[in-house]
Chain A
Amino acid sequence: MEISRRSLIAAGAALPFLRLSARAATTAGNLVFGLSSYPPTFAPWANGGTAAATAKLMFHRGLLGYAADGKLRGELAESWERAEDGAWVFHLRDAVFHNGQPVTSADVAWTLEQVAGEKSTAYLRGECQRIAKIETPDPKTVRLTTKEPMATLPLLVASYFLPILAKGSSDGVTTGVGAGPFKIVGQERGVSIDFEAFDKFYRPGEPKLKSVRMIAYADENARVAALQAGDVDLIEYVPWQSMAAIEADPKLVLQTTEGPFMYLVFNANAKPFGDARVRRAIAHAIRRDEIVKAAFFGRGAGLEGLPVPEGTEFYDAKLAHGFAYDQAKAKSLLAEAGLAGGFSCKLLATAQYGMHKDTASVVQQHLGEIGIAVELVLPDWATRVSLGNKGQYEFAVQGSASDSNDPDGLASLLAGNLSPSYTRSFALDIPQVDQLLAAGRAEFDPAMRRAIYAELQSVYLDQAPLVGLAWRAQGYAMTKAVQGFHNMPGALTFYSGTTFAEISTG
């Protein structure tokens, strides 16, 4: 066949009619969501990362949870209180599991036993072992007695790592039977998951959607392109470099919150990082705004104190800027530590994630200005985790979020008496920090708790068990047709999947 000019023009004219497949994402009652990665596991009580957490919030619920504004609210438990003997009492509502069975106290007791059990690989196993006794006086009541007074127990049972499952429905690896607003109806591993509304969900009128399809987009640019092309309605982990373009697009909406943050951890066995003066010198030598610019395109804020979000009752404006940039002070602290001439060291980060690598580059540059010659070590993420857990590094860049918006949520990053982990400093146990964390957890009086955490912030500034660098904006973006989704505030941003039950489209 000969290609003539006429046939080429005809082919060009036909192009607009090929639009059929694009823009098919939104149909009323259905939603397509672009995940940042496919959940590596659906094990109900494991920490499978944020994508897994979002997926699990579709089909599981815990005793408590969070409302869109970040306030604690009852989920499977309708109400809860502290009994006179100090036990926490939870009153269950009339909810049913996806298998049609009612949610009872026996299911709650079984779940907590599985999580705390000997063979458990649950993320909250250690925390749940603080529960000494589980009582089920009737099918609708659960009494939890802790080994020591525990003001933070409601936060523990609100965690998305602690969904309540139907008794005997999971061995800790399989998904299990939950009572969330959606049911899984199909999945292709590594590609997509399909959900359908659960018609017996306990919150009247929810879920508003009929179905949700989650598609994994490992590449962040592909995720944004899918939203802009109309393939998906809502995406998570909006890359910082794309936020301006999304804000400028009249068809799209961007929601961000400053929740997760970047920080430095130290190996106290690697000289001279065991010396608090050196850690503090580093803390004062870094201009945080440059990290926010380089790694997050200006979408974040400097973090010059303990990561306590501004606006919460534990925030103290003065203590929050204790590590403000002060090069002279940094140099004098180094001199005090006997290192006036500076020293050479290696900074561990990862080349796999731009935000880690870019943060490390800025730190390297700024420490060079006070005589610390930093060499970057940038393996892939898996290697970086392994080196961190084994303490095979000198100091390292890390990014994380608190477990909740309560300062106790920082315990897993600050406590020195926990097992080694790449998320906290290595071999750096500061007893005062551990004592204050324990005291805060056991204290019920709000004013007393504020005083305890103010002291913790002072000790933090004196000892620098880790050095905060920058809050980063965590973003979700969606088409204007998506109503009811909320990027939950601060550290709870990864709980935003809870609000899928409230979403409506078109």
Chain B
Amino acid sequence: MSFILKRVGAAILMVWVVASIVFLAIRLVPGDPAELLLSQGGVAPDPAAVAELHERLGLDRSLPAQYLLDLGRLATGDLGTSLQDESSVADEIAHRLPRTLELIAAAALFAVLVGIPGGLLAAMRPGGVLDRLGRLLSALGLAVPVFVVGTLLVLVFAQTLRLVPAGGYVPLAQDPLKHFTLLAMPALAIGLGLASSVFRMTRAAVLDVSQRDFVRTARAKGVAPARILIRHVLRNALMPVITVLALNLGTLLGGTVLVEYVFNYPGLSGLLVDAVNARDYPEVQGVVLVISVLFVGLNLAVDLLYAVIDPRVRHA
């Protein structure tokens, strides 16, 4: 019990530290939201209007006062309202987060479906044609930046062949077919790099596990090769693959911005970048906080799960 309390306490502390760092960091960067809001399109803002807006947005208060006010708000689960148009930050995140999660999930699905069988096939005959081709393609997949892949996909499939729209988003309920058509290209752009990582990791892990004693014993016992590969080798080899995949997916939570821009996909990363550009303090804090809570929450869940599985962790 005390282990759980300690872990939960540490998680809350972590979220508080993140909230405080984000609060300070965004305010330390030069640039004033009121000035920006009133000086769009390269025109001069009226200082009286800027002062008036400062007052309205609560930016005329001292930094400690703003911090305490913010923290009090966040403690009650209120993410505040945007400085740009007073819309609810929580609503905006609730709108965008599922899309980003869906995009990441689709990319992960592609990576798993291509990377794991590919890695397995390559590892079965190291140095063979499939292996060499797979390694070459995965090196390419890792080396080519995601926006280049994205731009090429748009150029070929949307602009030249005109098979699919160049980008955008349609809710699932509105038009399921169009929804998945629009999801396919961005998911593929992210998924190619991810599949390359999964391919390489699977191949290496399968090769490694294949050399282990228990595999040799299984072979000696006359177990069918396919059964050895699937039940003994792949099962054991998948642990590091899943770890790598999970790490990559975590990074993608706030890191799909390039793909979102190329495909005009309205996800969470784009919201964060726009909020930073507009110095929309509550929105930046809200998005970063939600992403960090997801991270910390996932870690906490894993920690607790370890404790359930392995009693030694509880007493370590």
Chain A residues packing against B (C-beta within 8 Å): 15-16, 18-24, 38, 40-42, 46-50, 52-53, 119-123, 125-126, 173, 188-191, 215-219, 221-222, 225-226, 228-231, 352, 379-383, 385-387, 389, 398-401, 412-413, 418-424, 494
Contacts and interface: CB of A to CB of B under 8 A. Distances in A.
B310 interface: no
Nearest to A400: B42
A154 to B, nearest CB: 20
A412 B44 contact: yes
B127 interface: no
A228 B163 contact: no
B229 interface: no
Given A188-B95, A421-B44, 10 more contacts: A22-B162, A40-B85, A120-B52, A191-B169, A225-B158, A225-B166, A382-B29, A382-B32, A383-B31, A386-B31
5 tightest Cβ-Cβ pairs between the two chains A and B? A49-B40, A382-B31, A421-B44, A49-B41, A229-B166
B49 A125 contact: yes
Contact of B48 (A125, A216, A424): A125
B271 A226 contact: no
B40 A121 contact: no
B166 A381 contact: no
A217 B155 CA distance: 16
Contact of A225 (B29, B42, B167, B274): B167
Given A40-B84, A120-B52, A385 B35 contact: yes
B52 A226 contact: no
A191 B265 CA distance: 9
Contacts, number: 185
A389 B49 CA distance: 14
B66 interface: no
Nearest to A379: B30
B248 to A, nearest CB: 24
Contact of A47 (B29, B40, B47, B271): B40
Given A382-B279, A383-B29, A218 B261 contact: yes
A413 B30 CA distance: 24
Contact of A40 (B37, B167, B181): B37
B35 A218 contact: no
A385 B36 CA distance: 7
B29 A120 contact: no
Contacts of B159: 225, 228-229
For chain B, give the interface size range: 35 or more
A122 to B, nearest CB: 7
A274 B114 CA distance: 65
Nearest to A124: B46
26 contacts: A18-B163, A19-B163, A21-B177, A21-B178, A41-B40, A49-B41, A50-B40, A52-B41, A53-B41, A120-B49, A123-B49, A125-B46, A173-B86, A188-B266, A190-B271, A215-B168, A225-B166, A228-B158, A230-B165, A380-B277, A382-B277, A383-B29, A389-B35, A398-B42, A423-B42, A494-B41
B121 interface: no
Nearest to B49: A121
A456 B266 CA distance: 48
B92 interface: yes
Nearest to A32: B168
A268 B38 CA distance: 25
A399 B264 CA distance: 26
Given A21-B177, A222-B264, A385 B41 contact: no
Interface of B: 29-32, 35-49, 52-53, 56, 84-87, 92, 95, 151, 154-155, 158-159, 162-169, 177-178, 181-182, 261-264, 266, 270-271, 274, 277-279
Contact of B30 (A23, A50, A386, A424): A386
A219 B279 contact: no
Nearest to A221: B151
A413 B42 CA distance: 10
B52 A217 contact: no
A46 B30 contact: no
B162 to A, nearest CB: 5
B266 to A, nearest CB: 5
Contact of B35 (A189, A352, A386, A413): A386
B43 A42 contact: no
Contact of B38 (A123, A190, A215): A123
Contacts of B262: 219, 221-222
Contacts of B46: 121, 123, 125-126, 419
Nearest to B271: A190
B36 A190 contact: no
Given A389-B35, A423-B43, A222 B274 contact: no
B44 to A, nearest CB: 3
A351 to B, nearest CB: 13
Nearest to B155: A225
Nearest to A419: B47
Nearest to B273: A218
Given A225-B154, A383-B31, A21 B164 contact: yes
B287 to A, nearest CB: 12
A468 B40 CA distance: 21
Contacts of B41: 47-50, 52-53, 494
Contacts of A400: 42-43
Contacts of A383: 29-31
Contacts of B85: 40-42, 173, 189
Nearest to A38: B274
B39 A422 contact: yes
B25 to A, nearest CB: 14
A22 B49 CA distance: 45
